[in-house]
Structures are given as C-alpha cells and as structure tokens.
Amino acid sequence: MKSSKNRSSRLEDMGMGIPDEVPFRGRLHYLFAQIEKEFELLYLENLNLQDKLDGYVNKESLQSHERTATNQCNVSSSAPLTVVSHEETDTAGTAVVTGSKSLKSKFSSGGKVKASHKIKAQTSRIVSSFKNQSVVSSVMREFCGHKDGVWQVAAKFGQPILGTSSADHTACIWGIESGRCLLQYTGHAGSVNSIKFHHNRDLVLTGSGDGTAHIWQAAVNWEVSKKGHSSEEELDDSDEQVEDRDRVDTLRTPLCEFTGPGGHLSVVVAADWLSNMDQIITGSWDRIAILWDVETREPLQPLSGHDHELTHVSAHPTQRLVVTASRDSTFRLWDFRDPISGVSVFQGHTESVTSTVFTRDDKVVSGSDDRTVKVWELRNMRSALTTIRTDSSVNRLAVSNGGIIAIPHDNRQIRLFDLNGQRIARLPRTSRQGHRRMVSSVAWAEEPLLNCDLFSCGFDRRVFGWSVILPKDN
C-alpha cells in the first residue's frame, strides 16, 4: 500500500501541478507535503538508530562467530582467525570471517573435528561472498543544487559534463571536475522528466510535464567549468570573484519545441534521439509515442497500442529501433528500418514496466515495479533470456558497453548485475554516502570521466558520480 502511494505521488510530480478548477486540492497537497516532511524526519532518525543497532548486533555476532569457530576448530595461537567486517553485507546481514587459511581447510584438517550444520552454512555464505570482495566502488563527486527530486541523469560522450532533469522545472549541465552547475535551462513550465545529449553536437533533448519536448543549446563556459572550490582560494577571492564564480548561466529559450497539432495531450515522460539524430521519439501519459522530424518540428508518426500511460522510451544507439514501456505491464519494439514499420509486443512483467534500454549486442533489458529485471533477445519475444529478481521496484536502469546492468531501486540501493543475471556488486549506502530516498535513474559513462564510471540521481535531490572498479579491471 505504501509503495502504491509513493508511486502515485511521484507520477503526480511529473505533471504541471494542480488544476485551477479544483482549488481545494492545492490545500490538501500542501498539508500532505507537511506530513511527508515530518515522516521523512522520523524516517531519517529511525535509519540512524537502525544503523547504530545493526552495528552493535554485528559486533556481537562477529565476536560470537569468532569464539564458536575457535572452540570447534581448535585453532592454535600460531594461526589465529582474522575477523573482517564488510561494510556492504548481504541482505541477510552475513558477516565475512576469514583466516590465514580458509575455514574449509581448517574444518577438514586432521579429520577429528566435525563442523556443525550452522558452521557449514556460515562457511558457504563466506565462500559465496568472495565474489563481491574484488569490486571497489565509492562516491567520487556530488552535484548539489536542484530544489526538488531529480528524475534522470545523462553523461555526455567525449566531454566531462553531466546533465540532470528535475521536478523543480529545470534541467542542469554540470562540470564533473568542479562539481558546479554550469548551465541551467528554465524553458519548461512543468517538471523536466527526461534528458538526453546529442551524440556529437552541443544539443540537449528534454521532455516535460508541460506536454512538450525541447531541444536546446548546451554550450558551457569551459574556463569556469575547470575552476573548483578550495578553502585557500575562497580566502583570497574578492567579493566580485566569488560572485562571478558562483554565478550560473541561465537559458530560457529552446532551439526547437515539439508541440501543437498532432502532438501530445498530456505529460511527456521521456524522449530520446534516434541513431541518425535527425529524428526524436517522445512518450506520454496520453498512451502514445510520437516520432518527430527535428528539422521541420512536425510529427511523423504516432505509435499507439499501449493500454495505459507510457513510462519510458528508448532508441537503439546504431539502428532505427525504438522501445516504449508502459504501465500496462508490456513494452513494445518499433522497427523503422523498413518503409513499413513493424511492432512486436513483449509480455512477461506483472506490473508497470518502468524502463527499457538496448544493449550493444542487440538485446533489450527491461525493469519493472514487479521487482524484476529481464534480459530479452530482439528476435525472440516469447520469453526472457534472464530474469533478475530483486527486493524493490526498479527505476530507470542503464547498461554499460561491457554489459553491466546498473539497477536503481525505490529502496535507495543501486545493484550491479551482468547480462547472465549474475550479481556483481551492490554500491555502498551508508549515512555518509549513497542516496537517502529512491534512486530514480543511473547512467554509465561511455569512457571514465575524471574517475567517474557511473552516475546516479534520486529524490533526495542528490546526484553522485561513482568510481566502479570491476574484477576484470583489478
């Protein structure tokens, strides 16, 4: 019930606001917002108390495991056990206990000591946890400035900049090196629900709750973008220098606006560039996706067939293929490679499909509110190749060029899997790093940008740049 209410609230955030003809709803929303703030404060306090409690429990558990292993295995003082606490334990809270030799070899040495079932289960969990030990991940950058939840994050190929779209009606371009907002776009009249960079030009495509999609110029001041913040510089700066450094360029006028006859009648939830970059695709709550011509700004073809609101659209990076996801629990593949376009329906999820993206090897990865991620072969729409089961709703995921799926969750976690469904890692989430509310979107950098491989954003208004070192990179 709680998840359903949260989802409904987030969907309303994508729209323009409260209709004038229902004035009392504005008052109700204000009161609910105040209640939500109170619950948020209580929730954060509970998290801190839970962290402290978990710390005490884990500490006692580790000490107990050490005593048990020492007594049952008769370990001599020359080969003591070493207890290592892993910051990101498994869901069950399994602790990692290792020694100068493996526990398995100690249990079997001499043949006189027979381990109990409990110790065997513990050893099995220890062995299975070794796979995650070689993955190193940490927050390298934080980008702060949005005044409301951030819906999507995007990385620019070949340039150290980042794009974000927010429910505060703005989109921002950030310098990754400085962590500063270099350009703020304020041309939309509603929540900015999606953002995508043009592949080789300084252009950005955004979709909004005002029912339109915009293309705007993302030219940044590179001299300003290289200036970071340091305490020594701040002491030496004059008031004018500080004011100039903190000034954010604002852009209010788009180059192209996609609206009018034949356009959308409701919120534009997502938009993307087709591979040739002279057409775009938009998806809306009016249950329709539209293919647009960039030069004429005219709609070329409506893509209808979904029974409920669209949640996401995505285009193939090199081919004229598009996928549209919907709250009707399906997603559709649209093929524009031939003069007569074709469509295929993919069924397999039991709740809203929240995200669909292509991989480099012609697969589609879909995420859903049913807490699963599925990998599909484009030529086989009957059943998924892989199903990844998680413990929380999935938001806008991303797949790296190397085939690593980054999955953002409602429960504030970010998990990494490969295309075969093998879990690789879970990014750390503590009181000092990680998101405090749902993670709405992630994006891989096609090449590492200043030690940042992955970017994430959430409804805690925070945007992070992560360094993720996978086992093959070690």
Among candidate residues 173, 159, 165, 185, the one with its CA nearest the CA of residue 252? 185
252: how many CB neighbours lie within 10 A of its CB?
10
DSSP state of 35: H
Euclidean distance between CA atoms 469 and 152, whole angstroms: 23
Task: Determine, yes or no, domain membership for 115.
Answer: no
Q: How many domains does the chain have?
A: 1
Task: Determine, yes or no, domain membership for 153.
Answer: yes
Report whether pLDDT(81) > 60: no
Which 3 state secondary structure label does DSSP give 61? helix
Euclidean distance between CA atoms 441 and 435, whole angstroms: 11
The CB-based long-range contact list for 156-162 (8 Å cut-off, 24+ gap) reads: 156/197, 157/197, 157/199, 157/200, 157/446, 157/447, 158/447, 160/225, 160/449, 160/450, 161/218, 161/220, 161/225, 162/449, 162/455, 162/463, 162/465
Task: Determine, yes or no, domain membership for 266.
Answer: yes
- CB distance 290 to 297 below 8 Å: no
Task: Determine, yes or no, domain membership for 54.
Answer: no
The residue-averaged pLDDT of 101-112 equals 40
- Looking up tokens 């702060």, which residue turns up? 144
Task: Determine, yes or no, domain membership for 100.
Answer: no
pLDDT tens digits, residue range 343-365? 999 999 999 999 999 998 889 99
| Domain membership of residue 349 as a residue range | 136-218+247-469
pLDDT tens digits, residue range 313-341? 999 999 999 999 999 999 999 999 888 88
Task: Determine, yes or no, domain membership for 9.
Answer: no
pLDDT band of residue 412 (cuts 50, 70, 90) is: very high
Strand partners, 452: 449
Euclidean distance between CA atoms 71 and 377, whole angstroms: 53
Task: Determine, yes or no, domain membership for 73.
Answer: no
pLDDT for position 12: 65
pLDDT tens digits, residue range 233-277? 444 455 555 455 567 899 999 999 999 999 999 999 999 999 999
73: how many CB neighbours lie within 10 A of its CB?
19
Q: For residue 306, give the CATH number of its domain.
A: 2.130.10.10
pLDDT for position 185: 97
